[in-house]
Structure 1
Amino acid sequence: MGAVICVAAGMWLHFQVKDARVLSQVPAPEQAELRRLVKDPAQDEPRLWALFQKYYDIEYMLPGLRNPDWLAFLILMLWSVPFIFILGFWGSRPLTRQFSVIARSARQVAEGDFSARALVSPGAPEELVVLAEDFNEMSSRLERLEREVKESSAMLAHELRTPLNAAMGRIQGIVDDVFPHSSDQLLLVHKQLEQINRIVGDLHLLSMARAGALSLEQERFQLAELVLERLRWVQDDLLDAGIVSEIDLDPLLEIDADRLRVGQVVTILMDNLLRYAASGKQMHVRLKVIGRNAELTIADRGPGVPEEDLPKIQDKFWRADRSRARHSGGSGLGLSIASAICVAHGGSLLVQRREGGGLETIVALPR
């Protein structure tokens, strides 16, 4: 477009210079007459032709390519071609550079390096910037999935082996008359089998959620009422741990969601706080409306999690302190399940460090 405008402006200037050069050789009286007739040729067309024949070169009147004006047009075109290439190359650099970055990162991902990220080039078009950001989000999810796949097999075997070995050892002891044949012994075996069943059930829930097939029974309910109900379930544990609760709930806030699943999320978060953040002696529960979402925040003053571990905190079987988590009975699936339930509702779960120490978990659910 710039080249077209420049060529058009050049041709206009060419005609202006040519006419000015011719008119400068015309006597003043005939010059005024020529200007008048050019503005309105119908006044005296024969006289206008006579003036043209007298002062203009015949080549400029010839039709076709023999007219010198075509030479001026060709010169302007040839003069503009280098600028078209130079400016076009300069203008397309951000575009090609961003494409090259994305292509290079895509090759890394194709070769199995899911840590590859496409940097955003300065000046790149907005569409390519969005493409790079979406690519980075995809790579991040693939990296997280790969990490989970690598860790899950070993962790799953470890999580199942512990209660399974305990149950088998207890049964073998009963068979060998090491332990008495009593209902108490069978109850101990039953507890170990319950733990295995719970882990399998949790993994099934996660698999259904990742496949987008998690069944939700939607109903409208007051979220504050559900939170208070789950608080009452753990009230005795909170008192035993010496945790002081600060509650700030919007009592009129209603959402359309699966009440049982959302309650499961609340219970998981409170259970995590009791297991890992009881030393902070504080729990802050806040519920409010943020845009189109209902946001439930559960915050503590516990030891928290290092900044570098926050991206992994929702991974399956991940634990900041494995020995402490195992001692307290955690399997490392709680936050994974809570996050999966939130995503299935079209919401999200965010865990972040809290100013002054501790963590805060934000559950965002569409109203």
Structure 2
Amino acid sequence: MSALALGVIFSIAFGMWLRFAIWDYSTTQQIPATIRPELEELRADPHHNEARLWELFQRYYDVRDFLPGIASRDWLWLASFIMISIPVVILGGLLASRSLSRQFSDVARAARRVAQGDFSVRAPSVPGAPAEIIKLAKDFNRMTAKLEQYEREIRVSSAVLAHELRTPLNAAAGRVQGMLDEVFPSDPQQLMLVKGQLDQLNRLVGDLHLLSLARAGQLAMEKSLFSVSSLVSERLEWASPQLAVANVITQVDVGPELMLLADRDRLGQVLSILIDNLIHYAAQGQCLEIKVSQCESALHLIVADRGPGVEDDQLTRIFDRFWRAESSRARPLGGTGLGLSIASAICDAHGGSISAYNREGGGLAIRMSIPYG
């Protein structure tokens, strides 16, 4: 709309200039050729001989063109241009507002469906709509995607959480009851089995607490400047026994000069989660690739494997709580299904993002982006 208004103003100004140029040229052409040089000279310096200039104006120009007031021909021309411009402005405004109105209508329609409990709805981007309104639609879609994820997690987490809590509790209670009934001997070995179940329960509660803090925006971040290469080397060293047992070959591409201001321990936790994920679910590919790159605003870290990958329709869900693919991430392989949710929460707390995609030739790649500072 602003561009339309400016365009109309410039068009009116150009029209007035063009009208004067044509009028002046036609009038000048009617003046005898012997007089024209003198008139041009006097017009260039009006104060040199004002009397002679007025005399020529009175002889060859229409006096009505010099009259002040609203009856001047210039005002009539200006009024004509304005009257012509009014329908142009109205028509242009209607055309320009159609995309704006459609975009608002789409967002409003989607909002009503969200209010009715349908979090799968998305507001389409209307071509030609202002960039700010398109950004509003995209932000709305990101919000509904988060709401859909939360609703899905709430729907499935109650049953899953009850199962995850009940399993170690039942195992520990059964072991203790067996010792009380003298089915099992009351020795340190049996107590260590009980402690293992309680440790598993404690890890689950700790993971859930971390996710709750992250969702509430209260996950504490202790940022410091550190070498990304040293962090990758450290976490690979920690996982080296498991990688060696699984016969996984590691390929690392990270520059030693890359530095990042972030929470080192939290990002190390994300890296350990991704490595552990590969060991549990993609070790058959016998390949772990870690690549770190940077752009002007963020650092990108990719952890990739040559395992079975994930179904395409599941790629957007792998960061949900308690998510497991039915085939490659079954319960017998262990874990609670919270690892990638924790990784996503930590990236979000840094103002970054994490995503997954299937690789050409097989395998899964998880890409983490963390902004500088």
Smaller-chain TM-score range? 0.7 to 0.9
Cα distance between partner residues in 2 of 1:118 and 1:198: 39
User: Counterparts of 1:138-217 in structure 2 under 5 Å?
Assistant: 138-217=143-222
The answer to whether the Cα contact below 8 Å between 1:325 and 1:331 also exists between their aligned partners in 2 is: no
1:235 matched to which residue of 2?
240
1:312 alignment partner, SS class = coil
The answer to whether the Cα contact below 8 Å between 1:222 and 1:251 also exists between their aligned partners in 2 is: yes
Cα distance between partner residues in 1 of 2:322 and 2:198: 19
Residue 111 (1) aligns with residue 116 (2): yes
Deviates more, 1:313-322 or 1:165-174: 165-174
Deviates more, 1:347-356 or 1:317-326: 317-326
The answer to whether the Cα contact below 8 Å between 1:249 and 1:287 also exists between their aligned partners in 2 is: yes
For residue 334 of structure 1, what is the amino acid of its counterpart? G
Deviates more, 1:155-164 or 1:255-264: 255-264
The answer to whether the Cα contact below 8 Å between 2:281 and 2:328 also exists between their aligned partners in 1 is: no
Cα distance between partner residues in 2 of 1:334 and 1:302: 18
Post-superposition offset of 1:306: 1.0
1:43 matched to which residue of 2?
51
The answer to whether the Cα contact below 8 Å between 2:224 and 2:261 also exists between their aligned partners in 1 is: yes
1:280 matched to which residue of 2?
285
Cα distance between partner residues in 1 of 2:26 and 2:297: 72
| Counterparts in 2 of 1:21 and 1:279: CA distance versus 1, 3 Å | closer
Cα distance between partner residues in 1 of 2:309 and 2:52: 97
Post-superposition offset of 1:157: 1.5
Cα distance between partner residues in 1 of 2:71 and 2:264: 86
Cα distance between partner residues in 2 of 1:292 and 1:75: 54
Structure 1: runs of 5+ lacking an equivalent: none
Cα distance between partner residues in 1 of 2:124 and 2:356: 26
Post-superposition offset of 1:164: 1.7
The aligned length equals 363
Cα distance between partner residues in 1 of 2:76 and 2:350: 70
2:269 matched to which residue of 1?
264
| Counterparts in 2 of 1:82 and 1:219: CA distance versus 1, 3 Å | closer
Structure 2: runs of 5+ lacking an equivalent: 1-5
Q: Which has the larger radius of gyration?
A: 1
Cα distance between partner residues in 1 of 2:131 and 2:284: 48
Post-superposition offset of 1:66: 6.9
Alignment root-mean-square deviation, CA: 3.8
Deviations 1:29-71 (A, max 9, x none): 9x98xx89x966941699689869xx979x9898766778876
The answer to whether the Cα contact below 8 Å between 1:212 and 1:344 also exists between their aligned partners in 2 is: yes
Deviations 1:282-341 (A, max 9, x none): 222334444454443321110000111111111111111379531111110111112222
1:122 matched to which residue of 2?
127
2:361 alignment partner, SS class = coil
Residue 356 (1) aligns with residue 361 (2): yes
User: Counterparts of 1:329-348 in structure 2 under 5 Å?
Assistant: 329-348=334-353
- Among the aligned pairs, what percent are the same residue? 48
Cα distance between partner residues in 2 of 1:27 and 1:251: 83
1:83 matched to which residue of 2?
88
**TM-score normalised by structure 1 residue count:** 0.80
2:3 matched to which residue of 1?
none
